[in-house]
Each structure stands twice: as C-alpha cells, then as structure tokens.
A and B are shown apart, each in its own frame.
Chain A
Amino acid sequence: MSIAKQDIELLRLVTVGSVDDGKSTLMGRLLYDTKGAFEDQLQAVRKDEGEGADGIDLAQLTDGLAAEREQGITIDVAYRYFATPRRKFIMADCPGHEQYTRNMVTGASTANAAVILIDARKGVLQQTRRHTHIISLLGLPHLIVAINKMDLIDYDEATFLQIKEELSEFCARQNIHDLICIPVSALAGDMVVERGNNMPWYEGKTVLETLETIDVSGHLDENEFRFPVQYVSRPQTKELPDFRGFMGRIASGTVKPGDEILQLPAGKRSKIKEIITFDGNLDEAFAPQSVTLTLEDEIDISRGDIIVHADKPPHTAKELKAIVCWMGEEPLSPHKKYLIKHTTNTVKAMVSEINYRTDINELTRDESANELAMNEIGKVSLKLMKPLTFDRFEDNRATGNFIIIDSFTNNTVGAAMIC
C-alpha cells in the first residue's frame, strides 16, 4: 500500500466458508499482499518457517479469543481491515458451519458484497446453497464466488464452467443479480491478487480486482428520503437559547432546504429550513451522511420519529410480517412478548403467528412449525403495541430491518427483514 489516497471508497464485505475450502489461505493472501496484517501480528501466528503468505495460520490471526484457540473453532464474526490504493475494505469474516447461521447473518447485515468459497473438486454443496440463500435474504447486491483449489483439478475450464452454470441457475431463483465467479488457486496464488500463468483461458478479473471495482454505492441516494430522528438538540445555551435541531443519519435518499417534509407516524408537515454540519450548512445532503435538520415550523418531533418527503411516505402500521433469523438460546415462540428496535424506535411486540420455517438446507418451507430455534429462519407475523413507520426490506434495506430483543434478558435474539 503506497500512501493511501484520501478519496478512496469503502467496501464492506462478508466472507463465508470453512477452513476446508481454503478460506484462510485466500484471506491470508489478501491480507498479506495488501498489508492488512503487520509482520509482528503474522509472526505470532506463523505455523512453520514458510515465507510470505504460505506459512501463516490465518485462523490464528482472526480467532482472537482464547476459547476459540483452545477449541480450534471460530465462534464469532471477526472484522479485518485492509486497503489498496483504490479502496479500503472492512471484511466481516464468518465461520461457515450450519450452527453459525446467526454469525453469517450478522456479518452480512453490514456488507455490500459477499465472498464465498467453493472447493472446485466438490462443486455446489448444500452449504453453498445455504450461504447463497442467506446472502439473498439480507439483500446483498453482489455475490463473488471464488471457485478454489483449481490446482487440484488441473485448472480445468470445463469444471469451472459447469459449477458456474449451476450457481447461476440457483442465484437467478434466489434473486441474486450480480454473481461473479472466479477460478482460483489460493495456495498457488492464481487469480487472487496475481493472475498467475495457469489459467490463460480465464479473461475475467482476479478476486482483488473484482473487490476494487464492483459498485459500492448501494444506490442509497436514489431511494426515497428517510431520516430517522436520533436525537433532538436543544442546547439552551446563551448563544443558542431557542435552537431545536433534529440529528440523525440519512438512511436513504437526498434532501435540500425548502423540501416539503412529513413527520411520521404523527403526520405533521413542514419544510426543511437548514441542513447543519460542523463544516457549514449544506445545499444538499444524501445517505449515509450524518446531519442536523432544522424546520420552518415548530412541530413536535422526538427520537423514534422519521422525517420523509411528503409525497413519498413509507408504510405505517401496527401489524407486520417479517423474515426472522433467530439468534436466541430460547426459541422464538408465538404469544411471547418481545421488544423490537427499528431505526431509532423501540416498541413492544408480540408474535401472533409463525407462518413457516425455512429448511435452510433443502430450502423448503415447513408451515406447521410452532417455534424457531437458534439459527433457524422463518416468516412470522407480529402485532405491535404502537404504530411503526417502515418500508419493505426489498424496497429499502435501511428502514426495512429490525432486531428483536428479549425484554427479560435484554439480549438481541433475532434479526428481521420486513416483507
């Protein structure tokens, strides 16, 4: 990495796979070649005298907890950072086992792209379908599949194409539009950072080139304006005796002074007066900027309210349906009361019905399910204590998701996407 340019973009990605797929080797190469890990950190986890990326036991680098090293397993999402002169990457690394579905959902929730690994000798496995399904549920725009261990099948193009075709068919059904398949040998270093000489038939990008060039915008600014109010600023100081500003991070869309707005769920109307930041007022602001808005009229707005453009309101309702990934030790059960946190709003809710549970391996629906255990995914109906303003997840990732909190233990027990 040369001197990092200041105008580089950020890509958040999630990597999924088990050690057997060669994920450690692939990530080790990315981290080593882009200097995402320092020599002293690598030295501490070197397993032999190997040079460069080869001798590194990457699991040791990311499995930072003593309990993980003792048991030789990854029990949590690890965040790693690396940068090239073109981009900075935040990589949420998730273990690939079935029982860790919740980790994958967690890691994927903040990501714009997913990297999953396939062993070229084994092709598309149940595990691949499970991971792809979760990527699709979480609405990630890009899926990069590294078809690894090409060296073990003599870099055979036909096998690569066959796996690619099978995946394309599956992804089309899963609503994943941007699938990128790359033939890779993480061990030999082919098509990770360097192209190598073994696959002249492949004309696409390497893994790193792909990560450096895929669209990261998420097109948040093209969506409707949504501004969940985090905090109402009323300094009441000598200089600012009557100031009232609404602080928040624009979840989607753009906003300008003069725009007609609606405050929900109460439904009061006003106009944007100013968009305030420490660096001066703005003529336009867009997602995901954090700003402070002032309004032309004195209307009552508090944390949990959402400010939107008057002509493009979201839904407001006391009932909703959502796809839930359950993360609690105690299963989700109907008629139990929970708290849900949606944008900056926390409301009490009750599960009125479990519509179905997804068999995450077969991708079939069990409509007779009456609970969701940890790591299970299903569709549920919820009744809320007060009206909530939201979008469908498929229309807006930022205002279409919520977490479920156990009101007794206070733990986060579920992740949900509104249908």
Chain B
Amino acid sequence: MLTSGKTDNSINMIDKTMPQHKLTQLQELESESIHIMREVVAEFRNPVMMYSVGKDSSVMLHLARKAFYPGPLPFPLLHVDTGYKFQEMYEFRDWYVKKVGAKLIVHRNEDAISKGMNPNEFGVARCCGALKTGALLEALEKGGYDAAFGGARRDEERSRAKERVYSMRDSFGQWDPKNQRPELWNLYNGRIHDGESVRAFPISNWTEMDVWQYIKEENIPIVPLYYAKERPMVERGNHLIPAENSQFLLEGEEPKLVMSRYRTLGCMPCTGAVRSSATTIEEIIEEASIATRSERETRIIDHGSNSMEDKKKEGYF
C-alpha cells in the first residue's frame, strides 16, 4: 500500500517519534497524477481515457480508480483497436475492464481493415496512419470528446520531453509544437475553443522504472506478454519479431522458440520482443534497472523517417 492506511498507522503507534510528513517519490507522482485527472474531469465537458492495454495504461487506469474513489470512474475507456493486437491483450482487456467495472468503447477503422491494411504491403507509416491515428481521430470525433487521457511519458522519446501535461490539439487533432501553452506550478489551462481538444497526460513525469515499481507496489495486473517465456520468434535485423502469425513473416524466415518477453506492447507485426528470462515483476525491475537501451527501441514504428514528432503533428498521441 502506498498511502498510509492501517498498516502505516500501526507503525506510527509503535514508533513514538513525530510522524514524518514525507512522501516517497512514487507517492508524490501518484498524488500529482490524481490531481491532473481530477482537474480534467472538473474542467472538461466530456473526457475519455485512452486504454491501450499496455502497462502504462494499466497504471493510468489504476490511478484513475484511486482518483475518483469511492465513486465510479466518471469517464469511459477507449481502446483504438487495429485488429493486429496480441490475443493475450484482447483477453486481458476484457477480463480487467470487467473486473474494475469500467465502461469500455472499442473503435476500429473498419473501412481500412476491410481493405486489408497491413504494414508489410502498405508500409508501417501508412498502416499506423490509418489504423491508429485515423481510427483515433474518428473515435474522438464520434464520441464528441473534448479531453482524452493518454499514458504517454516524457522519458519515452525526445519529442515527448517537451510535451505538456495538457497537449492542445486543433479541430483536426493536430499538435503544433510551437504553439503549446506554458505550464506553471500545478495550474493547467484547459480553456479551449469549439472543436479544439486536449490530450491530457497524467503520467508525464513517470519513468519506465517508476511504472514497473508502481505495478509491483500496488500489485497491478498486467498482460502476461510482459513476462518471459518461450515464444516462437524470427530474427529480423536487431529485432525479435513474434512468429505466431505466419502471414507477417518474410520469405525465408524460420521461426524458432526463444525465451523472450515484451518491454512495450503494440501491434503484433510491429512489436519486437527482447531476449529475457524475467518471469516475475522483481526480475523485470532488475532487468529494467540494468537495461542500456530504451524500451521504445523494440517499437519498429518509431524508427525510420516518420518520427514520433511527425505523427503527433498528424494527431497521434
């Protein structure tokens, strides 16, 4: 337990010294995130929380439950489904959302999916543009949402190091890096014109390590794909690509069983795994603490000419 509940009180009774009014860094981050979520809910007409099923989403959802306890979540969850997610992700999503009693909206770009959009034939940039960014903008417009929570962190990628907690988007969902509002103290300016919207990032100040530590401290369930086991993989360049679905394999690629896990979760064809023997949360933390490469390196989508900054300008999170 993070906040001092019954456990901490009993400690205080034994220890007769003055109570120390100190928060650990995770408790302080937790409090900041809760503050941001409450601000958004208080100031926006129709907020929604992006739910990607990954570990950052799990943490964000957990924080939201804390923020509005004892009441229910005052907004729905939105999963933008490309159709290419791992089976374990769909199973986990449906189980967990039901368990916490949240309302889930799933949106897919059915038009592009029916036309067979895929990264191998059409390229990663076009596939993402249609199935992620396109679908996201469609879903936000359809729901009439004026604020969308996202689980992005500033430590993930360099264009995100300058992202605001409230990221202003025009009526096309686009991000203009030169036209972002200064954010001072804990005062967030959520005033927008009709048609504009805000992407709110309550875990901006969390690092990958913070997320793992918090998952451990709070016992937050995560998709089993984060834990190592023997999985069929092919090696492509520096990447380990999941080979469960043979349609995404290139000619001559032979799957073999590799003890591996995922550091981040995205679409099956575009998410690489890492060799790992970490089967517990403690081992994942140990691994993360000695990692020399960033987690986004396993995302094929961030590399190449279509950078994160370009995608954000087009409306991506």
Contact = CB atoms under 8 A, between A and B. Distances in A.
B62 to A, nearest CB: 9
A191 to B, nearest CB: 25
B182 A81 contact: no
A415 interface: yes
Contacts of A290: 30-31, 34-35, 38, 67
Given A87-B25, A235-B70, A80 B161 contact: yes
Interface in B154-199: 154-155, 157-162, 177-178, 180-187, 189, 191-193
A282 interface: yes
A320 interface: no
A106 B67 contact: no
Given A277-B3, A277-B5, A284-B19, A40 B189 contact: no
A90 interface: yes
A3 B205 contact: no
B46 interface: no
B42 interface: yes
A289 B5 contact: no
B291 A38 contact: yes
A240 B70 CA distance: 8
Contact of A1 (B35, B42, B289, B307): B289
A217 interface: yes
Interface stretch (B124-132, B139-147, B264-272, B292-300): B292-300
Interface residues of B, number: 73
A41 B294 contact: yes
B278 interface: no
B91 interface: no
A38 B162 contact: no
A266 interface: no
Contact of A288 (B23, B205, B209): B23
B102 interface: no
B207 interface: yes
Contacts of A248: 35, 38
A8 B24 contact: yes
Nearest to A82: B207
Contacts of A2: 289
Interface string A238-281: 00100101011100001000000000000000000000111111
Given A102-B182, A231-B41, A40 B297 contact: yes
Interface of A: 1-4, 6-10, 35, 38-41, 61-62, 64-67, 75-81, 83, 87-88, 90, 102-103, 105-106, 109-110, 217, 220-221, 230-231, 233-235, 237, 240, 243, 245, 247-249, 254, 276-284, 286-290, 292, 303, 327, 339, 341-344, 397-398, 401-403, 405, 410-412, 415
Interface of B: 1-6, 9, 19, 21-32, 34-35, 38-39, 41-42, 65-72, 154-155, 157-162, 177-178, 180-187, 189, 191-193, 204-205, 207, 209-210, 213, 217, 285-286, 289, 291-294, 297, 307, 309
6 contacts: A76-B180, A81-B155, A245-B71, A292-B69, A292-B70, A415-B184
Given A8-B25, A76-B177, A76-B180, 17 more contacts: A38-B292, A62-B158, A64-B157, A67-B178, A76-B162, A78-B162, A81-B205, A106-B184, A221-B21, A235-B70, A247-B68, A277-B3, A280-B1, A397-B185, A412-B183, A412-B184, A412-B189
